[in-house]
Structure 1
Amino acid sequence: MKKTLEYLAWVAIVLPLVYLFLVWNQLPDIVPTHFGPSGKPDAYGPKWTLTILSAVSIGVYFLLRYVPQLDPRLNKASLSEHYPKLVLLIVTFLALVHCLVIRASLSEMAGENFTTILLVGVFLLFAGIGNYFNNIKSNYFVGFRTPWTLESETVWRKTHQLAAKLYFGMGLLGAFVVIWLPELWKLFWTLGLIFGSTIWIVAYSYRVYQQEKK
């Protein structure tokens, strides 16, 4: 199962490159390389720069795949039996973003549609991440690594149980609502939910630690 998930991760990394190869001759010589908060391009470059996102995906894959093995806390137990699914989820999200950018370069799709699709993807990514938080063991690289969660296994477990529910619910709610919001409010809604949920989880880890300490 683990090997299958690794193969699927590489398929997700390679597919945008295949798509890019198939549409290469249809792309203009100069393509958008950066999009502003409104979803409109604000920087341009040669079309070979579209391959950079694949390099980013490969770097993220190796970072997620191998860096946690350096954690001395994981000598006796793996990070999580579901961790490869989390890695697959993240590289799949990056692959979809890559395909979205290629599509935007082809059809000049930008503005509100581009922003909406991207933000829906971000919210669904958080929902997926939340789905796996319950199974992440205490470590120095993945999860909410506050001073209080790293100090106590109990605080780690309770914090990530809350994070799992909060991120999953926030992701589904955010993805649904952001579709209907006016363009001006989409980014505020997204940042507000993500930062608000994250601050709540960090504060909760401190409160649980203080309760356990007493």
Structure 2
Amino acid sequence: MTLSATDRATVAVSLIIVATGAAIAFAGPLELMPCHFGADGQADAWAGREAIGAGIAGLGLLTGLLAGGMGLAAARAPDAARTRSLRAAQILILLTFLALTLFAGVTSVSGVTSLGAALPMAGLSAIFLAVGAVLGRVGPNPIAGVRTPWSYKSRLAWDRSNRLAGRLLFLIGLAGLALSPIAPQPLGYQLIIAAVLVAAVLSVFESWRVWRTDPDRQPF
């Protein structure tokens, strides 16, 4: 079977993430590095390079598994529209895991102890902007998107809730990038996280609202 461009990207991104983890594990800083940040944006847990590298390499394997499975589903889709929507989900997985790897790798290796600063805020905002740009094109699947009981019972609810989530994340990311050089910290970081949580709640509510009024919905 001939691999599509998205499938080849899946292989490449998965290998890049695994290689990044291996590089950190074998050649990263010898001192402990931050590996977790609290709600205030401050580092509250540290680990050695082996643990952090292994975690990132594991992300690479998970990327290959999830995005590869989505690519297989897309190749077996019964029509072109379904194929496109599953390819969008595959791209979303790749973007998310690659962005998380870059963000985690840079923050860990650089020894950043607070996400409440201009560069970390800009990095998070870029992730949300990229995810938002793709999310609205994702079709129903068990891995990526606004997956609620109502969106699975109504294609209209799935489409509208994912489009809403995509637009909100895109706008949050765009605003975060624009404001990151001037926003007071850690308030800027905290506002970005709060906005994403509000977007998630609104998207879940939208899936229920649209399902409730959709004449073609499936009952529970």
Output the TM-score relative to the length of structure 2: 0.74
How far is 1:83 from its partner? Answer: 3.1
In structure 2, the residue matched to 1:93 is: 99
* Structure (1/2) with the larger helix percentage: 1
Q: Take 1:112 and 1:94, find their aligned partners in 2: how far apart are those partners? A: 14
The gaps in structure 2 that reach 5 residues or longer are none
Find the aligned partners of 2:102 and 2:158 in 1 and give their Cα distance: 32
Report the Cα distance in structure 1 between the residues aligned to 2:72 and 2:149, rounded to whole angstroms: 19
Aligned residues: 206
Alignment check: 8 A CA contact 1:57 1:91 kept: yes
Q: Is the 8 A contact 2:89 2:139 kept in 1?
A: no
1:57 CA displacement: 1.4
Identity among equivalent positions (%) equals 20
Distance 2:159 2:45 in 1: 44
Find the aligned partners of 1:88 and 1:70 in 2 and give their Cα distance.
15
Unaligned 5+ residue runs, structure 1?
Answer: none
Question: 1:147 offset after TM fit, Å?
Answer: 2.3
What displacement does 1:37 show? 4.6
Q: TM-score, normalised by structure 1?
A: 0.76
| 8 Å contact kept, 2:21–2:57 | no
Counterpart position of 2:8: 4
3-state SS of 1:132 partner: helix
Residue of structure 2 in register with 1:191 after alignment: 193
Q: CA deviation at 1:39?
A: 4.9
Structure 1 counterpart SS, 2:86? coil
Q: CA deviation at 1:14?
A: 3.9
Q: How far apart are the structure 2 equivalents of 1:206 and 1:181?
A: 35
Map of 2:122 onto structure 1: 120
Match of 1:139 in 2: 141
- Greater Cα offset, 165-174 or 5-14: 5-14
State how 1:56-67 maps to structure 2 within 5 Å. Answer: 56-66=58-68
Please give the secondary structure, in 2, of the residue aligned with 1:138.
coil
What residue is the counterpart of 2:113 in the other structure? 110
Q: Deviations over 1:137-169 (max 9, x none)?
A: 223332112222211112222222222222212
Aligned to 1:162: 164
> Amino acid of the residue matched to residue 57 of structure 1?
L
Q: Residues 149 and 156 of structure 1 are in contact (CA less than 8 Å); yes or no, is this contact kept in structure 2?
A: yes
